[in-house]
Structures are given as C-alpha cells and as structure tokens.
C-alpha cells in the first residue's frame, strides 16, 4: 500500500526523489510504531484512528534525537505528520482505500522559530582560501565553495548538475536554469569570481564524463559506466569537504553547504536586496520561508535606525 502511494507521489505528484525517499522513511517508522502499539504483526491503514494519531504525536514529542540526544524538534515531528497527511489524502483520491481519519484532522505542531547560522564576508573569504590549488581536487573544491556562495543553491541541486548545464556560453552569460525543489524551474546567477573558478576547474578535466563535479579518489569507477556517474560527488562528500575547510580556516560556526546558502541570502539582504527577490533566488515557494533571514539582518536595521532617527 505504501509502495503504491510512493509511486503516486513520484509519477502523479511529480515529487523529487528526495521527498519520496523521506516519505518512505517516515511512513515506515510510523507503521512500525503502530504495529508495536497495537501488539499486532499485521496492521492496516484502516486500523488508524484519531486516538492512534494523537498517541503517535505524544511518542514523537517524547522521543530523543539519535544525534543530539535531545527531544525531536517540532519541525522534525511535523515531517512525520506531513507524510501521514499526504498518505491519507492519497487514500481519499483512491476511494476504495479511504481511512477513518481525515487528512485535515492530522494537526501539525506550531514550528519553532529558526535563526539560521551564516558566515560574514570575512569568514567566507577565509573559507575559500584554504584549498591546495596545486592539486586538481583543490581547484575543484574552490570552484564548489565559490559556486555555493555565489548561487545559494541547495546541495541536492548542485550534485545533480551535469557539465552540459554549465557550458562556456552559460559561463559567459553568468546565468542558467535549473529544476529545483518541487520540480520548479528557476534561474540561477553566477558571479564573476565563481565563473572564473568554474572555468579553471573545467580546464583541468580531461575526461568526457557527464557529472559537473567528480571525485578524484575512492573506489574505482564502475566498468559499465561510460558516463562516469559513479564518480559524481555525493551530498555527503561535499558536506565533509566543507566541514574540513571550515576547520582549516578556524571558523567557529559549524559550517555546512546549507550555511553557505544562508550566508548567500543574508549577504543579499544586508546589501539592500528586497525579500521577494531573495525568495526568487533561493527558490522558496512561500515568502514566509524566506522571512527567517530577517532576524539576522537586525544589525543592518539598527544601523539604519541610528542613522536616520537621531532623537
């Protein structure tokens, strides 16, 4: 039943592979808890009741994170409930599979306010100057770091890029289109500095492999892989790389690729960009998501207040 729902999400709803994978994870965990709470080996979505949903919410609220040993954040709890609600909506679409719990009865918790971590311009400079540029991997890593800060792209978007996406013509135009989260198309802009390092990186590539960013170490390439897909950098490998250079630069912030995305947005707002434009550049479907960055620009607002409000 869950597999049918996941296929529906992929084919009919056109959800990203990442979202489908997470739905699978959350629903599988929900099913395991449900089976255990009812002391039954086999359970059906038809067994689901409002009381069971309420009990599951209590379970999530009391559960500890495997990473931090703290309680699960409200945003994490909501991901489980969102997956359940989407599944119940699917049950409504497929009439013969209707559940006794209506999707709208699955109430999400009020999300906790998030203040994103970000790097200032000096910290970004320190981060991007720690690579060993005598090595191909160092030039590649510099290109990736400059690219992340220049574009504000999500790591999932970056690793899916192919060489054809960043042609010499595109590097001259300094803009290209990507299919981002939710299968939405948006335009991404590349700075002069980022374009320079991308050109330098691509000049070191003597292969014809498809992926834009490839690894130079690790296990050998698959024999039946003429396109070089097995060499494509993974999100995890880029996360490790960013963390390594942040440590080398002596940065106190726990730097991730997403922190560079936060830094991109904050830098734009501090320079005077409007919220709607930043929303478009980040690919947020709702401006309320972008509004988390207004908290970190309070210093700029304070300077404006002191400059123009003398009394």
d(CA 260, CA 46): 45
Catalytic residue among 85, 140, 142, 284: 284
Catalytic residue among 140, 232, 261, 262: 261
* Catalytic residue flag (residue 309): no
* Catalytic residue flag (residue 154): yes
Is 190 exposed, middle or buried (CB count within 10 Å of its CB: 0-12, 13-18, 19+)? buried
d(CA 197, CA 218): 24
* Catalytic residue flag (residue 181): yes
Q: Phi/psi of residue 187, each to 5°?
A: -90, 135
Catalytic residue among 181, 196, 243, 244: 181
Catalytic residue among 13, 117, 174, 258: 258
* Catalytic residue flag (residue 284): yes
Q: Are 106 and 54 in contact (CB under 8 A)?
A: no
Is 70 exposed, middle or buried (CB count within 10 Å of its CB: 0-12, 13-18, 19+)? exposed
d(CA 206, CA 200): 12
Which tokens hold the place of 148?
């992340």
Q: What is the largest CA-CA distance in the chain?
A: 73
DSSP secondary structure string for all residues of 154-190: -HHHHHT-BGGGG-HHHHHHTEEEEE-GGG-EEEEE-
Q: Sign of torsion, CA 134 251 193 209?
A: positive
Tell me which H or E stretch contains 285: none
Catalytic residue among 85, 142, 154, 262: 154
The residue length of the chain stands at 311
By DSSP bridging, strand 185-189 and strand 175-179 are antiparallel
d(CA 104, CA 86): 10
Active site residues: 154, 181, 258, 261, 284, 293
């Amino acid at each position: 039943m869950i597999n049918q729902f996941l296929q529906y999400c992929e084919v009919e709803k056109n959800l990203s592979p990442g979202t489908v994978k997470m739905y699978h994870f959350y629903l599988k965990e929900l099913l395991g808890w449900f089976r255990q709470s009812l002391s039954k080996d086999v359970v059906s979505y038809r067994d689901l009741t409002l009381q069971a949903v309420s009990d599951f919410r209590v379970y999530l609220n009391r559960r500890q994170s495997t990473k931090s040993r703290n309680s699960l954040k409200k945003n994490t709890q909501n991901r489980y409930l969102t997956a359940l609600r989407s599944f119940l909506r699917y049950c409504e679409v497929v009439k013969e599979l209707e559940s006794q719990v209506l999707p709208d009865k699955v109430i999400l918790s009020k999300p906790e306010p998030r203040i994103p971590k970000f790097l200032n311009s000096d910290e970004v400079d320190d981060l991007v100057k720690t690579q060993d540029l005598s090595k191909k991997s160092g030039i590649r890593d510099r290109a990736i770091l400059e690219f992340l800060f220049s574009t504000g792209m999500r790591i999932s978007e970056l690793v899916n890029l192919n060489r054809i996406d960043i042609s010499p013509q595109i590097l001259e135009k300094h803009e290209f289109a990507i299919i981002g989260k939710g299968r939405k198309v948006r335009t991404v802009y590349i700075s002069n500095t980022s374009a320079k390092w991308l050109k330098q990186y691509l000049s070191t590539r003597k292969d014809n492999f498809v992926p834009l960013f490839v690894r130079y170490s690790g296990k050998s390439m698959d024999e039946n892989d003429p396109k070089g897909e097995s060499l494509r950098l993974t999100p995890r490998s880029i996360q490790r790389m960013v963390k390594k250079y942040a440590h080398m630069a002596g940065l106190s912030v726990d730097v991730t690729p997403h922190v560079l995305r936060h830094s991109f947005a904050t830098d734009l707002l501090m320079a005077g960009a409007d919220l709607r434009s930043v929303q478009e550049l980040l690919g947020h479907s709702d401006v309320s998501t972008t509004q988390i960055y207004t908290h970190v620009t309070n210093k700029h607002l304070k300077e404006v207040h002191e400059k123009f409000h003398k009394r």
